[in-house]
Amino acid sequence: MKPSRRRFLQFSMGAAGAFLFTPINWKLMDDVAIWTQNWSWVPVPEDGARAYTTTTCRICNGGCGIKVRLIDGKRAVKIEGNPESPINRGGLCAWGAAGLQYLYMDENRVPGPMKRDRVTGVRTRLTWEAALELAAAELKKAGGEGTAIVNGRKRSTMNGLIRQFAADLGAAHYCEPCDGGDVQKAASELLLGRPGRYGFDLERAQVILSFNAALLEGWASPVRMMRAFGTWMSGTEESRARLFQVDPRASLTASKADTWLPAKPGTETIVALAMANVMIAGNMVAPEAAGAPGFDQFKSLAEAYSPSKAAELTGVEADQIREAAEAFAKAERAVALSGQGHGNTPEPLSLAWAVLALNGLKGNFNKEGGVYLTPEPPGLDLGAGVENGSLLELAKGVAQGKEKLSALLLFESNPLFNGPDPAAMAELMDKTPLVISFSPFWDESTKKADLILPDLTYLERWDDVDTPLGMPYQAVSVTKPIFAPRHKGAPTGDVLAKLTKALGKTPPFAKYEDALKARVAKLQATGHGLAASEEPAAPMDLLGSGPGKGWGSAEEAFEEVAATGLWYNPSGQGDQVTLSFEKTLEVKPLEPKGDAQHYPYPLVVFDTARVASGFYANPPFVTKIIEDDFLLKKDIFINIHPETAHALHLKEGSKVVLESETGQGWVGVHLTQGARPGVIYLPAGLGHTTFDPTLKDKGLSGAAMVEAVEDPHNGQPLTFLGRAKLRKA
C-alpha cells in the first residue's frame, strides 16, 4: 500500500472523527476561557488587608447603619447593611448598596472649589483660600438683606450650623423645603397642641392603614419598612397583620397590600374622614377621644362623609371603607399613617391631620402597635430666631420685582430640578447675581452656580441624621469618614466656620466634628440611650429597656457612638398629650391647578421604588434596574388605563406628547389596570439634564410638569397633582 492523497485524506478523516472523542476540544475551550481572564491587561483589583468601617448611610434620611468593606484601608469595595443597627438590622436598599458610585463616579463630582463666569460659562478652579476669600467678600457685598439660604440638610446637626450661619449673616431669607416630617409637626400641633413629629410601631401593629405612603417603595426609612412588611406577612392567614393601602394608583405597595382602596387623587382625606364616620357611628371610639374637647365638631365633620357619600366623592367602594375602618377599630393594635411618596415632599395637611385623628379615635398614642409621640433628641439649639420662609414665595416675589436678591446659598439642595416649580427657580437663579452651591455633585443647580464650595460625599465626612421619619423612638445615626477625601472638597461644616470667621464673627465650632461631639454630649447628658450593639434588636423589642448605658463621660459616649454609628433611646416614653378637636379643618378634595378645558386630565406625579426623589440622584446601578413600565432606554412611560388609551386611540408603547401649562415632552404610553381611568400617571425624579450618561437626558422631569397646588391649610406647595393633556405630535 503506497501512500496517496486519497489515503492521507482517509487517515485525516479518521483523526478528525476521533478528535471528537478526545478531551482536547472541551479541555482547551475551558483553558482558553481562563487564559483570557489572566491576560496582563485584564484589570484585577489588588488584594490587601480587609477591614470594615461602621458608619451610616446618608443618601436619604432613613438612618440605616452600614459597614463598608475596605482593602488596605484605602479602597472601598462594598457597602453592606450593619446587622447591629436596630433600624435596618443588616438590610440595605438598592441605593445604599450602590453608594460607592457616589464616591467613585468622578464625572458626577465637583473636584474642588470653582467659580464660573456667567457670560462665557467658563469655570476656573480656585484654591480653598482664594475661594473662601472670594465668598466672604461677595457675601459682605451682598449684605444680609439681599441673601437667601436654602437648607437641604435639616435632619442633621448641620441644620443648626446653617441656621446659625444665616443668623450671623443676617440673611433675610431662610428656607428649609417642607417634607413629610413638617406636615406631621403641623398636624400634631392642630390635634394635640404639640408641634412635634411622631413615629409608628409598625412591627407590632396588626392592622395598618396607609394613606399614600409608598411603604415598599422608599417611604421614610425604606429598609425598616421592608422588614416591617416581612413581619406583617409572616404567620398564618388569621394571625398575620393586614395592610390597607389608600392610593391613587396600584403602586407596588397597593399591589402587595391586603386591600387596595383606589381613591381619586386628592380625595384621600375624605376616605380618612369616612373611616372616622364608621368608627363614630359604630361606637368604636376610644373614651378619651369621645370626651375630648371639640369632639362634636369633629363628629359633625365626619358625619358629612358617610361611606356611601365618600364612595361617590372618592371612588372607593363604601364596603371597602367600612371593612378597613372596622378592622382598624377592632384590632388590638392598629395604626394609621399618611405620607406622600418617599416622604421628601409634603402631603396635604388635612390628610395628615385626619389620619392622626383616626389614631386619636383608636386611642393608640404611646401604646404598643400605635403612634409614639416621641420628642426630638436634644440638639444644639443654634440659630435661634431664624424664621423659615417659602422658597416659592421668594421666587415669585423676585420674578414680580417685589424682592431683590443679591446672593443665594444652596446647601444640598437642587431647586432647579426638584423645585417646587423648577421654571420659577431657574428665573430666581438667573436674577440673583451670586449663587453659591455647597454640593459635592454636578447637579443642575450646581452647574448654574457662580461659585462652588464643594462638600464631600457622605462616605468621606462627619455627619449625623436625626430620628428617621416614622421611627417610634429617638435615634441619632452618625456618619464618619471611611478614609481621606478623594477630591479637594471640604466638609461644609468646616467651611462655614471659616466663612463666619472671614466675615468677622465667631463660629460656634471650629469644625463640624466638634459640633457633633457637643451634640453627642447633649445626648449623653440625658442619661438615656444605647449605642448600636451586638444584641439582635428588632426596632421595638427593646422598647422600655431602662435608662440605657449611662456613659461616664461625653468622650466615652462619642467614642462608642461614632464606632457603632448609632445612638438610640428605646425608652418607649412619648409626650403625654391631650387630644383636642377644637381646631377642625375644613376639608375639600384637592383640585389641581390649570385650565380643565385645555388640560382635561389630572396628572399624578408619583415616587417609584427605583428612582431617587431627594437630593442624591440615582447612581447608575439603580438607574439600570428601573422598571420598563417607567423607563425604557431614554423614554419615560406614563401609565394610563386601557379605557383612557382607547378613547385617545393610543396603544401600548405609543409615543405621545405630554403637555401641561409648565412643560411638555415626549412620553411612551404604558397601559395598566392599576391606573384610574381619565388620570395620567408620571414617574417622578427622571429627566435630569446633568450627571453621567446613565441618568442624563432620560425621560421627563415630573417636577417641571406640575404647577404646585398651595395647601389651603399651611400654604405649602403640593407638587404631586397637576393637569395635562396628551397630543399625538
Q: Which residues bind another protein (CB under 8 A)?
A: 1, 6-8, 10-19, 21-24, 26-28, 30-32, 34-35, 37-38, 44-45, 47, 50, 77-78
- Is the separation of the CB atoms in 572 and 543 below 8 Å? yes
Q: Which is nearer to another protein, 47 or 387 (CB)?
A: 47
- Is the separation of the CB atoms in 189 and 352 below 8 Å? no
Smallest separation (angstroms) from another protein to the CB of 225: 24
Q: Which amino acid is at 331?
A: A
Q: For the sheet containing 566-569, what is the strand order?
A: 463-465, 474-479, 566-569, 530-531
Handedness of CA 317, 319, 321, 323 (dihedral sign): negative
Smallest separation (angstroms) from another protein to the CB of 150: 40
CA–CA separation, 186 vs 177, rounded Å?
14
Q: For the sheet containing 75-81, what is the strand order?
A: 50-56, 65-71, 75-81
C-alpha of 15 from chain center: 68
Positions of E strands within 217-274: 242-246, 259-261
Distances from the Cα of 542 to the Cα of 87, 102, 205, 569, angstroms: 12, 34, 16, 9
- Is the separation of the CB atoms in 507 and 501 below 8 Å? yes
Smallest separation (angstroms) from another protein to the CB of 2: 10
* 3-state class (DSSP) for residue 335: strand
| Grid cell for residue 174 | 431662610
Nearest to 162 by CA among 458, 468, 379, 378: 379
Residue 334 phi, psi dihedral angles, 5° rounding: -140, 150
Smallest separation (angstroms) from another protein to the CB of 626: 20
Q: Which is nearer to another protein, 103 or 132 (CB)?
A: 103
Smallest separation (angstroms) from another protein to the CB of 7: 5
Smallest separation (angstroms) from another protein to the CB of 481: 22
Q: Which amino acid is at 726?
A: L
- Is the separation of the CB atoms in 211 and 336 below 8 Å? yes
Q: Which is nearer to another protein, 10 or 234 (CB)?
A: 10
Smallest separation (angstroms) from another protein to the CB of 11: 4
Smallest separation (angstroms) from another protein to the CB of 77: 8
Q: Which is nearer to another protein, 12 or 297 (CB)?
A: 12
Q: Which is nearer to another protein, 18 or 122 (CB)?
A: 18
Q: Give bridge partners of residue 208 from the DSSP assignment.
A: 243, 335
Q: Which is nearer to another protein, 31 or 145 (CB)?
A: 31
Q: Which is nearer to another protein, 42 or 484 (CB)?
A: 42
Smallest separation (angstroms) from another protein to the CB of 24: 5
Q: Which is nearer to another protein, 5 or 649 (CB)?
A: 5
C-alpha of 110 from chain center: 23
Q: Which is nearer to another protein, 10 or 127 (CB)?
A: 10
In terms of phi and psi (left: phi > 0; alpha: psi -120 to 50; beta: otherwise), the region of 592 is beta
Q: Which amino acid is at 276?
A: A
- Is the separation of the CB atoms in 36 and 57 below 8 Å? no
CB neighbours of 647 closer than 8 A, spacing ≥ 6? Answer: none
Smallest separation (angstroms) from another protein to the CB of 46: 9
Smallest separation (angstroms) from another protein to the CB of 23: 5
Q: Which is nearer to another protein, 52 or 483 (CB)?
A: 52
Q: Which is nearer to another protein, 14 or 235 (CB)?
A: 14
Q: Which is nearer to another protein, 621 or 666 (CB)?
A: 621
Task: Give me the residue label for grid cell 405630554.
Answer: 658
| Grid cell for residue 82 | 450593619
CA–CA separation, 617 vs 28, rounded Å?
46
- Is the separation of the CB atoms in 634 and 666 below 8 Å? no
Q: For the sheet containing 123-125, what is the strand order?
A: 123-125, 114-116, 451-452, 434-437, 407-411, 147-151, 173-175
Smallest separation (angstroms) from another protein to the CB of 511: 33
Smallest separation (angstroms) from another protein to the CB of 20: 9
| Grid cell for residue 582 | 377644637
Q: Which is nearer to another protein, 10 or 689 (CB)?
A: 10
